[in-house]
Amino acid sequence: MGQPVTRAWWRRNAVALAVLVVLVPAGLFALDTLEFGTVRNAERPVAVGASTSIADWNFGPVTIEPVDAAEVGAPSGTEPVVVTIRVNRGHRFLGCQAPRIVEPATGRSWMSVTALDWAPPVGAQTTCTSRTGIPYDLVALVLLPNGVGDDLVVELSTGSTAAGGLDLRFAVDR
Amino acid sequence: MRGFRGWLVGILLLVAAWFVAAATPDGEARMTDPFRVTASLGTPAVGDNLAVTVRDVVVSDGVTASGGWQASGTWVVVDLDAWTVRAESPGAIGVAYLVLPDRTIAASERPLTLDRTATLLDSRLHVDIPQAGSLAFEVPADAMTGAAVLQIAQDNGAGPGDPALSLEGDSVIELPLSLSDLPRVSDRALVRTGWVSP
């Protein structure tokens, strides 16, 4: 194919090689420092009413149920809802963040709200921490403005990609 | 492509790059400028992910806040509604500045001493669900003349210390003010952060 790599070749390309010696480590350092390598988890869509597994964990099905706005002290013009995700914990450690509701049509998203007068139902949890093998409901109170559509996605981020985590995207038709 | 032709192409590319750089306004110095959204009193101003309606701006010779905190001095108090547009993380007014002719003053964190909801600074905001509250700026008594600009933005992680850093790369909502035309009161109670009443 090309010319053989001889001593003369090394001499001819000495400057370019010296530049590479500097730039390659500098590039790797920049990647690490500037967090270019920080990417979102891979996503896994889950159909309405379905569940899914990560290792020996099982997530789903997911429901979104309205709660009484006056009861929790929600402002007028809003719709408080409770997101419930059935979780069966596995043996491997797998963290998760509180679920959030995404409206695919607009890209808007809402997280759990703590400023309202609400407590999780008995037996339900707001984190993924639990004893192995005992199914439970992962719940979050989310405050939506009026006018949010019915086709929603509940997103649950389960740990980092490096740790085998995924962003689960449960379709919900409420 | 070797020898003379390679050098020629290289030099031509450098010259072309120089023309591109020269045609770019202020070169790279403006690449991270914030996107400015001009607001007016009582009208919603919508930035990238932060939106506000400034309700009132007054100069006060003292302020009181929820939790019992109070202070004398010269204060510019801004009452406003705030909400986010797309996402709730990040979802807060992270920085607010009053840009005076000769200095820039960051929104005071002092009223938050006894109650974290005493002002809207750093309060969790919600998508399309407004919350009412206040921002307070402690200013020198002799600085209340001329034009000023109120700047409100999310926190990009740089903190409020240097506006050139904390506003870069994001939208900033700006309300032009005439300081000498602002109404003056002897004392002002800050609006505790809460849901907007219909």
The torsion of the CA quartet A138, A143, A148, A153, rounded to 10 degrees, works out to -20
With an 8 Å Cβ cutoff, are B124 and A115 in contact? yes
Which tokens sit at B54? 């400034």
Which tokens sit at B52? 């506000």
- C-beta atoms surrounding B18 within 10 Å: 10
Distance CA A138, CA A98 (A): 8
Distance CA A18, CA A85 (A): 56
Residues of B in contact with A101 (CB under 8 A): none
With an 8 Å Cβ cutoff, are B129 and A75 in contact? yes
pLDDT at B90: 83
Contact partners, residue A33, CB within 8 Å, separation at least 6: none
Which candidate in A111, A146, A155, A157 is best for mutational testing of the B interface (most B CBs within 10 A)?
A111
Nearest to A108 among B86, B124, B197 (CB): B86
Sign of the Cα pseudo-torsion (B50, B53, B55, B56, in order): positive
Looking at the complex, report in whole angstroms how far the Cα of residue B145 sits from the nearest Cα belonging to chain A: 40
pLDDT at B27: 63
Contact partners, residue B176, CB within 8 Å, separation at least 6: B38, B147, B148, B149
Nearest to A109 among B87, B196, B198 (CB): B87
pLDDT at B1: 57
- Please check whether residue B124 touches A, CB under 8 A: yes
If we measure between CA atoms, which residue out of B148, B161, B164, B136 comes closest to residue B100? Answer: B148
| Domain range annotation of chain A | 1-38, 43-173
pLDDT in tens, chain A (174 residues): 566 778 888 998 999 999 999 999 998 887 766 655 456 678 899 999 999 998 888 898 999 999 999 999 999 989 999 999 999 888 877 778 889 999 999 999 999 998 899 998 988 888 877 666 688 999 999 999 999 988 999 999 987 666 667 889 999 987
Nearest to B126 among A76, A107, A143 (CB): A143
CATH entry 2.60.40 includes domain A43-173:
yes
pLDDT at A172: 93
Say if residue B134's pLDDT is above 90: yes
pLDDT in tens, B87-103: 998 899 999 999 999 99
